[in-house]
Amino acid sequence: MKKGLIGIIILCVIGLGLYGWIKGTFNGLVASQESVETAWSQVENVYQRRADLIPNLVNTVKGYAKHEQETLEGVIEARANATKVTIDPSNMTAEDLQKYQAAQGEITNALSRLIAVSESYPDLKANQNFLELQNQLEGTENRITVERNKFNETAREYNTKRRTFPTNIIAAIFNFGEKPYFKAQEGADQAPKVDFGTN
């Protein structure tokens, strides 16, 4: 009788220990996954801020550069296309992130063309509203870089955790998938040209 009771107690202790480990590991993965999703929402916020600045910038340029319709429409179209590309952070794939990054890259390219056009209009370059929008856009580009780096770091921590033994067992059982990273695009070794030539 005593041996049976001791055996039951040992099984209960092992069961409780296993339950505690599974629960702690699972909750740790959930917390890490939530951190990735929070970091992603910050990335979206700064890209949205940039998208919100574009209409004011285009309208300001339009007042001075009426003959640059194609460039202005290119910026508006790139913005519209980029805002259509959304990602569900809980099911994010590398392909999704690549599409998102490509759409945002189109905005960067269109803005570069718009800024190049502004160089031909000295009155535009001296316009206070244009100067303020330039400063806001420059600040936003810096924030984008910071938030993308934070996202990559958070995703790296999550991916490392989910691949580490024995956490990888729980990650596989409960389907905690890998999170992708922002990757440098071709030519990204140089900062995006958002130099507004205000000197």
Task: Domain 2-173: give its CATH architecture.
Answer: Up-down Bundle (1.20)
Q: Is 78 exposed, middle or buried (0-12, 13-18, 19+ CB in 10 A)?
A: buried
Q: What is the pTM of this model?
A: 0.83
Q: What is the pLDDT of residue 124?
A: 85
Closest of 133, 162, 173 to residue 50, by C-alpha: 133
- Neighbouring CB atoms inside 10 A of 60's CB total 20
Q: What is the pLDDT of residue 142?
A: 94
Q: What is the pLDDT of residue 185?
A: 62
The pLDDT profile of the chain, 199 residues, written as one tens digit per residue, is 677 888 889 999 999 999 999 999 999 999 999 999 999 999 999 999 999 999 999 888 888 887 788 889 999 999 999 999 999 998 899 999 999 999 999 999 999 988 888 888 888 888 888 889 989 999 999 999 999 999 999 999 999 999 999 999 999 999 999 999 998 765 544 444 544 444 4
Q: What is the pLDDT of residue 1?
A: 64
Domain ranges of the chain: 2-173
How far apart (Å, rounded) are the C-alpha atoms in residues 15 and 24?
14
Q: What is the pLDDT of residue 195?
A: 46
State phi, psi for 50 to the nearest 5 degrees. Answer: -65, -45
Is 104 in a helix, a strand, or coil?
Answer: helix
How far apart (Å, rounded) are the C-alpha atoms in residues 2 and 194?
79
